[in-house]
A and B are shown apart, each in its own frame.
Chain A
Amino acid sequence: MAAQILSAIITIIVGVGGAIAYFWGANRLLDLIFPSRGVAGMAAVDNLRRQGFIRPWLFIGPALIILVVYLIYPVIQTLYLSFHDRSGENFVGVANYAWAFGDREFQNSILNNLLWLAVVPAACTFLGLVIAVLTDRIWWGTIAKSLIFLPLAISFVGASVIWKFIYEYRGDGQVQIGLLNAIVQFFGGNPQVWISLPFWNSFFLMVILIWIQTGFAMVILSAALRGIPEETIEAAVIDGANPFQIFWKIMIPQIWGTIAVVWTTITILVLKVFDIVLTMTNGQWNSQVLANLMFDWMFRGGGDFGRGATIAIIIMLAVLPIMIWNIRQANKEGGL
């Protein structure tokens, strides 16, 4: 253990030192090869030009290499693998895709993913907006926001344990130590094994993600609401709008862009949701989702890379429109 801590510390020092040495050394080297100071006339200008040509690549080089190795190459390779068999060696055409759409478990995952997509982004955005509006009006709003924001710092696994404790079921007649069953029992209902109720169990898992992500939506939307020029609201007051009309006709239209951003961010997150399902049910009782299914196939029976890659590609396809929209948006704003 001590050795491990030591090696981690050494790595940090070596890593940071190495990075500094690389950036400093590469720059120094460039200055030495193409000196711009102490060289006469045109030679200095030429060298400066050459430096300007090379230096950006020294700055961006390490990042570029890592991006290529860890993201760009894998994306291409995953696409390649999705057309190959479990070992990745034999070309099988679209057989994996054909398998996927015929597989009951896969179909079930797609359906569940659609359910998650329909519920979670909407619920988070709606709750986030409501809480942002309400907390803006009270003196302890900041504290309230802080507390509602807090689950965002908790890992999905941690959150799963927290909620599993809430959903805990103990046999009829025993003391219920799960809050939900205790409440149900208090109102005269029968305790349930919530996470194994087919269909409904997905909603109990979604609650966890909603619990985590509402704080995110709230913070972003709260900032957007504060960004609305106060004068437009005053102008609407003078124009005769009531509070309801001010909210729907003046405030909401002005933050549509932000609502869309929050919605898509949570959408992407939902497509990738894995930890919650793995730890709560591991896909049992019809609660499977794509990301967990993909993980499953990566290791199932020694691992089927073809099918795993196929599922990854299908998740990617769902994200693709958002990706294209983002790039076009950035392009329009002149960010490129």
Chain B
Amino acid sequence: MAQASGKSAGKSFFGKFGVHLAVLVFVVIWTVPTLGILVSSLRDKDQIIASGWWNSFASSTQTEAGRLPPPENQVEKDGRFVIEGNIFGDDPPRTISAFGTRAAAPTQYAAGETADLGDGVTLQLNEDGTFVLSSPVALEGSRGQRVYFASSAPPRFTTENYETVLFSEGIGRSFINSLTVTVPATVIPIMIAAFAAYALAWMRFPGRALIIATIIGLLVVPLQMALIPLLQLYNGVGLFFGVPSKTYLGIWLAHTGFGLPFAIYLLRSYMAGLPRELMESARIDGASDFEIFLKIVLPLSFPVLASFAIFQFLWVWNDLLVAMVFLGSGANQLVLTGKLNALLGSRGGDWEILTTSAFVTIIVPLLVFFSLQRYFVRGLLAGSVKGG
């Protein structure tokens, strides 16, 4: 049936082809940015700045500087003083394309060529890094000859960046902090909202309509409206009781408060849609409101509870503003988003740190999202098609 309109619409080969192509373009634009940081986070940190990540599977060319061994290593051979060896030493092997001895002309000679360094001194540097420095008179000095060369290294992928950010940059600790904030801030509102939603959906009492209208109004109140008074309140409470004002309990309750209107709204509209006969027959069977809620409404509301849980989890995990206002910036309280923001300031150009940290930050939401997408979409539809 659905094809009826499509048939007359875009049956032609080019029409079909065009649709596929257009969607492909959109998909590429929407996935490439994330792919970029994923690939970069796995690259060697020197390679990240040497070539764009889209080239990461090709060898990257870079200009390096090295120093030959000092003159004490020279041996006399056929009347000339010679130093031989490999410029890479114990480093991973690369391929040298050109070299030079002055920083101004680092690629003056092609690999394998013999360079004349003046006074009869010659240097030959081969592709594989082996070199021969030869001089008519004994070389002097304590330092070896400076050499510049262009090398291309094969692509190198590593999990080193992850080890670095997780254990020495403090991302690991922030990950735990984020979990500490997120899990209770997801569970608490569900409990409170579920009871309230049931009362608003199925119990009659004066003021009910007013409360519902207020909640719908609160749905769109910007967070900014709540920040200053709550900051004052928390500071006041902290001073009065002599406790810190920035605590995990404080942020759990804050997230609960900010999540409640949506939670109640979402759960109430779902519960109100359950068949009335179900409640009535349970009541005739002798169940109280509490029992009806616990044994009938709650189990039937599982899909919408799941939807809200995913929403709240993603929202809290991804939140930066509330965490910045209500939690401290010490290692024991800084959450992932806050940490990432701090790194952007302190490690601005260190892309191996930033991309890796960013990926650690988004991996949990992505996993949640992919495994529970069905519930997420359902909540999105229920929450916005009617409410906005």
B 1-43 binary contact with A (CB < 8 Å = 1; else 0): 1101110111000000001101100110011111011001000
Cα A5 to Cα B49 with chains together (Å): 38
Question: Is there an interface contact between B34 and A237, defined as CB atoms closer than 8 Å?
Answer: no
**B228 pairs with A309, CB closer than 8 A:** yes
| Residue in B261, B288, B358 whose Cβ sees the most chain A Cβ within 10 Å | B358
A85 at the interface (CB under 8 A from B): no
Given A73-B229, A177-B53, decide whether A220 and B188 contact each other with a Cβ distance below 8 A. Answer: no
Known: A63-B196, A315-B222. A15 touches B187 (CB 8 A): yes
Q: Which of B180-208 contact A (CB under 8 A)?
A: 180, 183-184, 187-188, 191-193, 195-196, 198-200, 203-205, 208
Contact of B252 with A by CB under 8 A:
yes
Beta-carbon nearest neighbor of A316 in chain B: B225
Q: Give the segment of A101-109, A117-125, A263-271 that binds chain B.
A: A263-271
**B176 and A1 form a contact (CB under 8 A):** yes
Set of chain A residues within 8 Å of B176, measured between Cβ atoms: 1, 4-5
**B217 contacts A323, C-beta separation under 8 Å:** yes
- Does B337 count as interface, using CB distance less than 8 angstroms? yes
Q: Judge whether B274 is part of the interface by a CB distance below 8 angstroms.
A: no
Smallest beta-carbon distance B30→chain A, Å = 4
Given A305-B228, A311-B224, A154-B34 contact (CB < 8 Å):
yes
- A258 near B385 (CB under 8 angstroms)? yes
Surface stretch bound by B, among A39-47, A90-98, A291-299: A291-299
Secondary structure of the B contact surface, majority rule: helix
Are A154's CB and B366's CB within 8 A? yes
| CB-based contact B188/A155 at 8 Å | no
Q: Give the residues in chain A near B40, CB-CB below 8 Å.
A: 165
Total residues of chain A contacting the partner, CB 8 A:
124
Q: Are B34 and A275 in contact (CB under 8 A)?
A: no
Chain A residues, Cβ within 8 Å of B366 = 150, 153-154
Most buried by B among A31, A165, A224: A165
Q: Is A57 an interface residue (CB 8 A)?
A: yes
Closest to B291 in A: A27
Report how many residues on chain B are interfacial, defined by Cβ distance under 8 Å.
125
A230 to B: closest C-beta gap in Å: 5
Is B361 in the interface zone, CB < 8 Å from A?
yes
- B52 and A261 contacting across the interface, CB-CB below 8 Å: no
Q: Are A168 and B351 in contact (CB under 8 A)?
A: yes
Give the interface segment out of B91-99, B106-114, B144-152, B373-381.
B373-381
A291 to B224 alpha-carbon distance, docked (Å): 7
* B155 at the A interface (CB under 8 A): no
Given contacts A131-B26, A150-B34, A330-B212, contact A67 B261 (CB under 8 A): yes
Q: Are A15 and B222 interface neighbours, CB within 8 A?
A: no
Query: Does A335 lie within 8 Å of B212, measured CB to CB?
Result: yes
Contacts of A149 in B (CB 8 A): 373, 377
Q: Scoring A residues 292 to 336 as 1 if CB is less than 8 Å from chain B, else 0, what string do you get?
A: 001100100000010011011101100100110011001101011
CB distance from B210 to the nearest CB of A (A): 8
| CA–CA, A305 and B211, complex, Å | 30
Residues of the A chain whose Cβ atoms lie less than 8 Å from the Cβ of B199: 56, 59-60
- Other-chain contact of A59, B203, B229, B381, B387 (Cβ < 8 Å): B203
Contact of A138 with B by CB under 8 A? yes
Q: Identify which of A4, A211, A275, A326 contacts B388 (C-beta below 8 A).
A: A326
Any chain A CB within 8 A of the CB of B81?
Answer: no
Closest to A215 in B: B30
- If A16-B187, A60-B200, A78-B225 are given as contacts, then 5 extra A-B residue pairs at C-beta distance below 8 Å, sorted by A number, are A11-B248, A161-B37, A182-B52, A234-B4, A326-B216
Residue ranges of B at the interface with A (Cβ–Cβ < 8 Å): 1-2, 4-6, 8-10, 19-20, 22-23, 26-27, 30-34, 36-37, 40, 48-54, 173, 176-177, 179-180, 183-184, 187-188, 191-193, 195-196, 198-200, 203-205, 208-209, 211-233, 248-249, 252-254, 256-258, 260-261, 264, 269, 272, 288-290, 293, 314, 317-321, 324-325, 332, 337, 340-341, 344, 351, 354-355, 357-358, 361-362, 365-366, 368-370, 373, 377, 380-381, 384-388
Query: Would you give 8 A-B contacts (Cβ < 8 Å), ordered by A?
Result: A20-B191, A31-B288, A55-B203, A71-B261, A88-B232, A168-B351, A182-B54, A291-B222
